[in-house]
Amino acid sequence: MTDTTAAVDLSAAEAEVDLPPIGSTERYDALMEVIRNRVTVRKFDTNFTVPDEHFDLILEAARHGPSGANAQPWQFVVVRDQDMKQQIADYFVAEQRFRAKAKMKFPTPDYRGLATAPGFVVVCSDMRWINAFPVLNDGSDLDAQYKENAERILLQSVAAATMSAHLAAAALGYCVWWVTAIGQDEAQKAMRPLLGIPDEVSVLDIFLFGPPAQAPYKRWRRPAEEIVHWDQYDRDQFMTEEDLLDWIKTRRHRVMYRDASKID
């Protein structure tokens, strides 16, 4: 006789999913409230201590993030020790000085603010997780192309979880700061021994949060017409190399450091 019992009992898993009726805006509005009010600050109130429960709540949001192949290729190191925060901040300040000397022309922020963050989480991933995504692993040119995409899948996955954490922090009333200026090999080598991170694991970014030292402000956003395309890519939104370079030269520093009302 054929066994007709399902291989997996889905009812418990299905009961975990609770979606509102399509088109009801209650949850959307609550979510948008959080999204709109997630703002970056680069200096925090040093008198505040983040309770451990808040780290739990925030990283629980990260845990639910989507990821390629559901690999969940992320690790979060919560740094509570002030001396450790200072050592990491010192590294970034040195990087800030290096950039100034190297004349990168990037409007690098003041990284001394890192040491002021009550919430300090180092976001890591083991890049070997790219093997969980479609790759050939035969050393061919085609494999190189797939590997490049696999790396993108990994980075997008970690960013998705990180964003969930940032939104959770904003939902709890915190300002946030997403710092990625640590990709370079030297930065990795400097950071790993401080936190006991294995050589195979990369530090992808640092997630900082806390009450702000000064009132935060909302930064400029491109209007929807500039970024949304319906059915076909609207070539009016295409920027030439010259347009792009001009934007970077004349607008980048303004959109990074001014409030939205001061951007024309």
Ligand X SMILES: Cc1cc2nc3c(=O)[nH]c(=O)nc-3n(C[C@H](O)[C@H](O)[C@H](O)COP(=O)(O)O)c2cc1C
List of residues contacting ligand X (CB under 6 A): 39-40, 42, 109, 178-181, 219, 256
Q: CA-CA-CA-CA torsion for 167, 50, 173, 214, nearest 10 degrees?
A: -110
Cβ(188)–Cβ(182) under 8 Å?
A: yes
Task: Report, in Å, the least distance between residue 5 CB and ligand X.
Answer: 47
Q: Give the residue with the Cβ less far from ligand X, 146 or 220.
A: 220
Task: Report, in Å, the least distance between residue 217 CB and ligand X.
Answer: 8
Task: Report, in Å, the least distance between residue 108 CB and ligand X.
Answer: 8
Q: Give the residue with the Cβ less far from ligand X, 127 or 143.
A: 127
69: region left, alpha or beta (phi > 0 left; psi from -120 to 50 alpha): left
Q: Give the residue with the Cβ less far from ligand X, 25 or 180.
A: 180
- Collapsing DSSP states into helix, strand and coil, what is residue 32? helix
Task: Report, in Å, the least distance between residue 212 CB and ligand X.
Answer: 11
Q: Give the residue with the Cβ less far from ligand X, 181 or 195.
A: 181
Q: Give the residue with the Cβ less far from ligand X, 20 or 66.
A: 66
Task: Report, in Å, the least distance between residue 7 CB and ligand X.
Answer: 40
Rounded-to-integer distance, Cα 99 and Cα 112, Å = 15
Q: Give the residue with the Cβ less far from ligand X, 27 or 222.
A: 222
259 forms beta bridges with none
Cβ(132)–Cβ(223) under 8 Å?
A: no
Cβ(190)–Cβ(104) under 8 Å?
A: no
Task: Report, in Å, the least distance between residue 145 CB and ligand X.
Answer: 24
| Closest residue by Cα to residue 132 from 201, 64, 71, 66 | 71
| Closest residue by Cα to residue 59 from 187, 209, 182, 195 | 209
Q: Write out the two tokens for 101.
A: 């000397």
